[in-house]
Amino acid sequence: MTLITDAEFEDAMALAPEAVRRYLSGAGWRAERDMSGGELWERAPDEQSGPPYEVLVPLRRCRDYAGRIADILETLAAAEARSPSNILREMRLPPVDWQFLRLMPPGPSGTAPLLDLVSALTGLKELHTAAGSSAIEPQSVQPGQKPREVKEHVASVRLDQTRVGSYVVAAHTPLRALSRQDIVRQVTLFDADSFSAGGSRPVEPFTRQVSRTLFAGVTCARTAADETLRRGSLTDFASYGGAGLSANLCEAMVRIAGEQRRAFSLSFAWSAEVPMEQASPPVTIAPRHVEALEAGAKDLRERLGREVGAVLHGFVIKLHTDGRDYREATIYGSFLHEDVGRSRRVRVSLRPEDVDAATRAWRNGQEIAVTGDTEGRGAGLRMSDVTAFVVRPE
């Protein structure tokens, strides 16, 4: 049993009972029954053998409150093989969802090659970016230009101290507090658009939407990879596009595996402020899955990364020349097939007969409508094979 220090004992006195219960709920503990002045919480040991761990959480501050919290901290330290100070620090965090990326590199436990870690962290960032984009609009191939909400979400992701078990990267994303009146019902991990019986959409922070989409996406990616290996067909990848799987997400998972194609796993813990009762088991990716994910991402980009006959409404903000003639225009606008109000910059290849119209629209600030095929190219979006270029009257 790890004994807490005097400083930790002082910190325990300032800890609210709600913070303790929130931490226990997120760490897999369950409130079993009420007792005199407290709640009895239990958690099975990780090895799934032997009696469960038990802690008694006080429901209000009493004379021996600090001592009871100290007992809880010492039990948690033993159950999690962590220091009481680290557990105390996490209890003081605002409500967050957790993602744990467990790498499996060679060498001593708790260490990882620098190149493996750089690749894994880049992949983790790309995972959140892909999941955030799919939370807004599921697509098999996400465009390079990301909405503001996605960029803000990625900026909010925090890395925490590593965990015991090979090399575990712990990331958490903050959730805004919701009242019980706000939470209409439990949202499932795979069904973002379902409604309650009363017809109300559940209130859910965007960060939770991203966390849930991330879990669904990597789970579906693992399933699609298994089916690809079993049947030798890549068709399953496209069928999971609505659940958060995209070429971008698959590529991020490949990036995490690194050049050595090492195995890894992702596990999730959900803030008790927004209950998530559906099971979310860890997703393990083996080297054989990495090859299938890479092939699946390539197939999605080749087959579905091109939008045929897209209609773009907007304004010409720049003309590009090859030295003699204008060949391309940058148009700022929105597509008819996307949500209203979502604007972006698109590089459009001009036909010779479109050059005069594009120049006139650029000089006069006139709105245009252009029809063609779009595809992602690098960090942007391009339109080629234009079939119509119309300048709208002033």
Tens digit of each residue's pLDDT (9 = 90 or more) over 187-209: 566 654 443 333 344 568 899 99
pLDDT at residue 208 in the model? 93
Which residue did the predictor score with more confidence, 172 or 306? 172
How does the average pLDDT of the chain come out, rounded? 85
pLDDT at residue 126 in the model? 96
Can you tell me the mean pLDDT for 368-385?
82
Residue whose C-alpha is closest to residue 95's, from 181, 12, 22, 183:
22
Q: Chain centroid to CA 38: how far?
A: 36
Give CA angle at 145 (291, 203), nearest 5°: 90
d(CA 346, CA 343): 10
Q: With pLDDT > 70 as the criterion, what percentage of the chain qualifies? A: 88
Q: Chain centroid to CA 231: how far?
A: 29
d(CA 334, CA 329): 15
pLDDT at residue 235 in the model? 85
Can you tell me the mean pLDDT for 58-86?
87
pLDDT at residue 47 in the model? 65
171-187 burial code (b ≥16 CB/10 A, e <16):
bbbbbeebeeeeeeeeb
**Model confidence at 52, in pLDDT bands (50, 70, 90)?**
confident
Contacts of 19 (CB under 8 A, 6+ apart): 91, 92
The pTM for the full model equals: 0.68
151: pLDDT strictly greater than 50 = yes
213-231: per-residue pLDDT in tens?
999 999 999 999 999 999 9
* Secondary structure E strands in 322-366: 326-335, 344-349
Structural Rg of the chain based on CA atoms: 26
Q: Which tokens hold the place of 37?
A: 């002045």
Out of 240-249, 293-302, 305-314, 327-336, pick the least confident.
305-314
Alpha helices in the chain (DSSP H): 6-13, 17-26, 65-80, 84-91, 114-136, 148-156, 206-231, 235-239, 247-257, 287-304, 355-364
